[in-house]
Amino acid sequence: MIHKVTPRRPTITPLLKYMLRNGHGHEHDLNLITWIGSTTFAQDPIARCKVTGLPLAEHPDEPLNDLIEEFEEQSALHKGKAENLYAHYVVSQHPEDRQLTQPEWYELITEYLDALGYDNCTKWAACEHRDKDHYHAHIATSVVRDDGSIVDNTDDVHKGFSVLRRFEQKFDLKQLTSPDENWGKHYSKGEIKAAGGNRQEAISKDWAARIRARFKAIESENGGNLPDTMTKLVFALAKKGIAVKARQNESGVITGLSFKADDGPCLSGSKVKPSRLTFNALQIKENVSYIPERDNAALLGNEDLNINAAVQITDMQYKRIKILKPNLRVFKRNKKKYASFTFYNSKKQREFVEMIEAIMELLRLLFDPNYAIDDDELFFFYSVEEVFEYELLHCKTNEYDISDPIKVSKYIMTDHNYWIEDSNSELFILKADEDELCVN
């Protein structure tokens, strides 16, 4: 069995006429309509022969008007701002299924609506149509409860499927799988309408559908299961033309996966198949083992590296960029401000970028004669022993009386008036100028 959840609507009259009258968008005869039941005082509005139960030729409007009025009175209890207070559901049997009896339909629909958040105090009415190659039931509801609150329609599609799976087994009907369990997707009426009103057209334009189809092929070729490790899954997807991209947090831990088919967009697992293809769902539901030491090479090895070209800027430049908003990014790091043109999205990429920036800084420092040196930052720390060793190796020995270390220390400090002594740490601190830096 399958079901369809249509968008909520502001009026009930057109829906009830569609369900319970000839015409009004329906081509079938009234004798193909069977009343299932309702929670309303008004009952079957189709006039029927008391002997045969078949619809009569004349059908007074009063019974249908009574049903409409009862729905409208229920919806009037809502004092909020919601305007779409009516819903329409369609539950369809498989063409191979036997026809359900009226009590069976009533039991199924009662539990179906209960799963969607309705209760005995909400108003609904249902009837069966037999104008197609499969039996199906239409359900009209007011989404307003007796206290004036609204029935929540979050995740109606999956809530409904869980009930249908249970009743297929109970009534011995054809067993189907819900979209969250197979590789299908429940396309909404809006999605189908956007694709020209054709479901197949919607599928053909959906890149996620292509990815799901290739996962299904891999599962079929692997005995009904996906490969048992992430590495094997990545290789199997590569053979089907699917690239895998891993997302990492600041600590380098993989937090999610995205998939790309051919030249299509890169889609996260939650957009392709949230019930099966998120990083957690693959491990927990699909039993695809993940061990970082074993699988990270496959998940991250083909990762595209997005280099971040960043330059340090002044406070004034930072403010100007924030105001003018050019096509670049400004950020702060270690109390300094930078402007960049591309982005990295993992710890590994960030470390690689920082290494490149450090190398470029060193090259400028060593070889660019016009590179501005910040005197406040160029401090070099040496131990007393290192200073003596350097002077003795690089200066003429007859310049100092090396037999007297105290005298040598005074000579050195006199010759290098930029040196000061830190008595606490027993370190000499050299504030170097540019010429000394290049010589040393």
Per-residue pLDDT, 37: 94
pLDDT higher at 183 or 212: 212
- In 93-241, which ranges are E strands? 124-129, 136-142
The residue-averaged pLDDT of 101-105 equals: 95
pLDDT at 363 over 80: no
% of residues, the chain, pLDDT over 90: 36
DSSP conformation letters of 366-390: HH-TTPPP-TTT-EEEEEHHHHHHH
DSSP conformation letters of 278-329: SHHHHHHTS--B--HHHHHHHHHTTPPP----EEEE-HHHHHHHHHH--SSE
pLDDT at 72 over 90: yes
Distance between CA atoms of residues 120 and 114, nearest Å: 9
pTM: 0.52
The pLDDT tens digits of the residues spanning 160-183 come to 888 999 999 999 998 887 666 667
Domain made up of 2-178: CATH architecture: 2-Layer Sandwich (3.30)
Q: Where are the domains of the chain?
A: 2-178, 226-300, 310-367, 379-439
Tell me which residue of 112, 102, 37, 99 sits closest to 67, measured CA to CA.
37
